[in-house]
Amino acid sequence: MQILIIEDETKIAHILRQGLMEDSYSVDLAKDGEEGWEKVMINSYDLIIMDIMLPKMDGFTLCKKIREKNIHTPILMLTARDAIEDKIEGLDAGADDYVTKPFSFTEISARIRALLRRGNKTEPVILQLADLVLNPATKEVKRNNRNLNLTAREYALLEYFMRNPNTVLSKTRLLEHVWDYQYEGLSNIVETYIKYLRQKLKTDKSSHELIHTVRGLGYILKTKAN
């Protein structure tokens, strides 16, 4: 599942991102309200975590703008402002939950699971391409009705591909969405995991390739090569 974190405190943003990626989520970061707004308009997220005290556009305003666009993605507000009035304002602006800093990551993780169980009714429950089926709720993956045993990173990579089918994804884009920044120096990490995925997606000799290399550009998930 894809989560957007809108947080101007770099340390907090990266702690959250690292923890969520270890839980097999795909995570985007935005450092201010305007950047967050742009990402929401471009991408489809399963959940948004946002601070209230954001540069350029505060969280209350951003939350209202998102809801005015009839985007029903669950929103978790994360902030140091713990006054009851602030919580009420955040919830009235359209937030689904509210957590104050300092926080425990285990609490954040539990609240995220609760919000995702409610679901974003505008999003499809099951992702499917040909005979490949991925259930984001259970993290179950099947091809040709056979269960695939994927690692957390393999699952995150495949889910990102399945949320962007028939789209060329560059190595840089895959690194940004599936790996943390610490992996940027490992030049072959993407290629290595693409190889792992291809092997596991080959459930039998008749299984056709789904992940294709686009020379010089990246990779694409589609049913047939050109």
Write out pLDDT tens, residues 31-47: 999 999 999 988 888 89
Residues of the chain with pLDDT > 90: what percent?
27
What are the CB-based long-range contacts (under 8 Å, 24+) for 132-137?
A: 132/162, 132/201, 132/210, 134/158, 134/159, 134/162, 136/1, 136/46
Q: How far, in Å, CA of 151 to CA of 162, rounded? A: 16
Neighbouring C-beta atoms of residue 199, cutoff 10 Å: 9
Of 49, 178, 164, which is closest to residue 115 (Cα–Cα)? Answer: 49
Task: Decide which of 3.90.1200.10, 3.40.50.2300, 3.40.640.10, 3.30.479.10 is the CATH code for 2-118.
Answer: 3.40.50.2300
Q: What does the mean pLDDT of the chain come to? A: 84
pLDDT digits (tens, 9 = 90+) for 128-186: 898 999 987 778 899 988 999 998 889 989 988 988 888 999 888 888 777 754 555 55
Q: State mean pLDDT over 11-30.
A: 87
Q: For tokens 């080959």, name the residue.
A: 202
What angle in degrees, to the nearest 10, is found between the helix axes of 189-201 and 152-163?
A: 80
Confidence of residue 26 (pLDDT cuts 50, 70, 90): confident
Task: Tell me if 192 sits within 8 A of 132, measured CB to CB.
Answer: no
Confidence of residue 62 (pLDDT cuts 50, 70, 90): very high
pLDDT digits (tens, 9 = 90+) for 86-136: 677 777 778 888 888 777 888 888 888 888 877 554 455 688 898 999 987
3-state class percentages of the chain: helix first, strand second, coil last, to nearest 5: 40, 20, 40
* Burial class of residue 187, CB neighbours in 10 A (0-12, 13-18, 19+): exposed
Task: Tell me if 96 sits within 8 A of 72, measured CB to CB.
Answer: no
Name the CATH topology of 127-221. Arc Repressor Mutant, subunit A (1.10.10)
Give the pLDDT confidence score for residue 122 in this predicted structure.
47
Provide φ and ψ at 132, rounded to 5°: -100, 125
Domain residues of the chain, as ranges? 2-118, 127-221
